[in-house]
Each structure stands twice: as structure tokens, then as C-alpha cells.
Structure 1
Amino acid sequence: MKTLLCFTLFLCFNCCFGQNDIEIKILNDTIKKVSFYDRNNIVYKIINNSEKAYCLIIDSGEFNEDPEYNVEPFFIGLPDYYIYDKNSLLTPNFTTGSHSTNSIIKIDENSSEFKKFSKKNSKKFDEFDMRVAFRLSKHIIILKPKEEKVFTTLINFPNYMSRYFELQNKGTYLFQISLNNPNNAISKYFEKIVDNDKKQILVFTGQIFSNKVPLIYEVHNN
């Protein structure tokens, strides 16, 4: 009970102040899409501006693609992205039947790693939550005071997996990313899967937004 109370206090603290301590920043000066076959590497860093260590969940393997910018439990930690036409946020479309989508759960339940995790946590989670918790356990990072870590995520314009934007050729837009670690999901999973030594570290919850950088869409073979 004492551990749970301590963990709950950490979460409450971070709901108020975590967004001020943790920063996300795009390092690309400009993003240029010049060929239909091009894909772009988005380089960004997460910075701990505080004097305290933080835990957070980040999966740089891909971006979220939900058209409503929702964060489903299984995809917590995926950075999201936004495209602006001047100061207006563009609304994405969603194409059904995409051959590549992160709505497909990618967990190898036959792996020795997953079996070991399931055995250890068999009394804590049902089948679905076990898969969620296992994935989250693979993407927990610790940022020491004043530490920053760099990540790269590959993206395609105007469509990424099932998310699609109507971009005008030879158009200039603004691009932004965010990271969302929802408090309710972190409360549900985190305390049960982290090692005891990590439970004394502040846990980041909430959503942070990056700077905006120019996105030039000028595709010669569109």
C-alpha cells in the first residue's frame, strides 16, 4: 500500500508539472518531400530540463496513425504528428484496407521473452492487458537530470499507413510532433511492470508538443 501511495503521488505531481520538465524538439531544419518514392527521417530529441530523473514511454519505431489523434492502450508511446497550413491544423483522412497499419498488434507470443513476462505477471493482467504491458515494458526509458536523448522516426507524405493528408504540390506547410503518456493508462500498467528501483523515479504523464518546422511538398513525379 505504501508503494502504491508513493507511486500515485508521483503521478499526481507529474500531471501538474511534468510537461514543464520534459521537452520534445524536432532537429530537422526543414522537411522536404521531392519524390513520390521519398520517405523522410524525422529526427527529434526528448530533453529533461529538470534536476530530477524521469521515466517515460517512447516508441520511435513508427508514428501514431489514428485519424482522431486518439491514443489506444496498445500504442502508448508512439509519437504523433500534425500538419498545418499556415496556422490552420489540417484534418487527416483515414483510408481503409491499408496494407500497413499500426492498428495490427505485433507481438510474438511464442517468444521466450514474452512467455517469461507472462509467467511473471500472470496474476496481474488478462490476455489483452498482458500484451499491452509487455509492449510498454520494452519502451520505458529513463532521463537523468538535464539529459537528452535523440530519436529518429521514418514517415511518408501525404499518406502514412492509413492516415492521409490532402497536400497541394509545391505547397509549404508546418510539421509538428507530440508525445502523449496518458495518466490513466500509465497508472494501470506502469506500477505493475517496472522494477522496484524505477518506482522511486518520477513518471512522466501528460502530453508535450514540439516546435514546428517547415514541410516543403514539391513532388516532381507526383
Structure 2
Amino acid sequence: MKDAYVKEHIVEKYQQEYDEWESQRRAFEEGEAKQERLQNEAYEKVYTEKRDILVARLEGKMELLSGEIERILTESSIPLRKHISCKVRCSANAVLIDVQLPPVGLFPSEELVSLKNGATKTKPKTQKRMREEYACYMFSLVAYFAVKVFDVSPAIEQIAISAHAVRENKAGEEVDEYIYSGRFLRDSLCSAIVEGTDPEDLCLSVDNQCNMTKTKIFKAIQPIGVF
């Protein structure tokens, strides 16, 4: 009886098992094909975006470069980067950059000094030292941004960078004021880099608005344009 039952149903059972295996195989292959297609589409999208950006940079398609410039500037490895914001506007062969500087209160107010006995201790920085370091930071940041932006596209001929910061006025109120604005030309900037010009000297040698005293106190100014 048992052998007869097996012989009677073995073909049917085999076909059921085969059909189930075949169904699983097709489902697996369809899933793999779908995954491969999605990955290829993702790769193609990334490739197309990068290609379009490269073409825009080479051909100077300024309408496509604003986002790329903002990305480059915000991803730069610079101190207090998270406290810096940039707005970029492009037109013709020029770029206008508006930079929000970090508040002066975020900068270190103490420094480590060496004593005669070889020990070290922490002491507060003088106001003069704080102003000098803030000025150095600001000028270095502006010069760095100018260089980075000119690297984006050979079609960029001039850049205007305006920097502003939130400060306390005489009444103790917080006000957002521009403290530097300068227009950089590609050829003169390249020459300054070759000559190793100091960032402050570079920023003050171009067409600029900057009312800074000898003790590095910045007074509010009106930003210049480039277009």
C-alpha cells in the first residue's frame, strides 16, 4: 500500500516542490535585478549630477554654481565652521558672498603661558590680544574664501566678499553690522598668493570698505557690490 501510494503521488509531489522552487528562484532573480537596476539608477544620478557640476564649473554657468560654492565653503575645515553662514549670488563672471562671522564670544578668552620655572598656567587674554586674534581670523577667512571660490571655475573673474557679525553697541544692544567688504580680482589675487602676501595686507590692498583702528577695533561699514 505504501509503495503504491508513493508511486502514485511522487510525480505530483515532485512537480509541486519544483514549482515552489522555481517560484522562489524567479522571485530571487527579480529581486536581484530590481536591486541592480535601482543601484544603477542611483549611480547614474550621482554621475550625471557630478558631470553637470563639472561642466558648469568649466563653462562658467554661473546660475548653477551658487549651490556648489555654498557647499564648498560650508564644508571647509576651518575653526568655528558651524558658526559661519554664507549666502552666495552669481551673475555674469562675478560672485557676491555674504559671510556671517562667529560672535567674538566664541573665541578662546584664555591662553596657556610658560613660567620661568618651566611650569605653565592659564591666564586671561588681554582685550588687545582678543581683538588682534579676531582680526586675524576674519581677514584669513575672507582671503581663504576668495581663493576657494576662484578655484570653482576659471570663468569667475571677480568676487565681492562682505563679512558681518553680531556685536554689542554702546547701549549694550546686540546689532548685526558689516565690518569688512572687499572686491577681489583673479589676477591680483594670484599674484598675491605667489608673493606670499599676508591675509590682512591682501584684504586691505584690494578695493574695500573697512574702518579698522590701529588697535584692531572695527567700526560698522556699508558693503560694496560687484555687479
Q: When the two structures are superposed, what TM-score results if normalisation uses the length of structure 1?
A: 0.25
Q: Choose between structure 1 and 2: higher strand proportion.
A: 1
Q: Choose between structure 1 and 2: higher helix proportion.
A: 2
Q: When the two structures are superposed, what TM-score results if normalisation uses the length of structure 2?
A: 0.24
**Rg comparison, structure with higher value:** 2
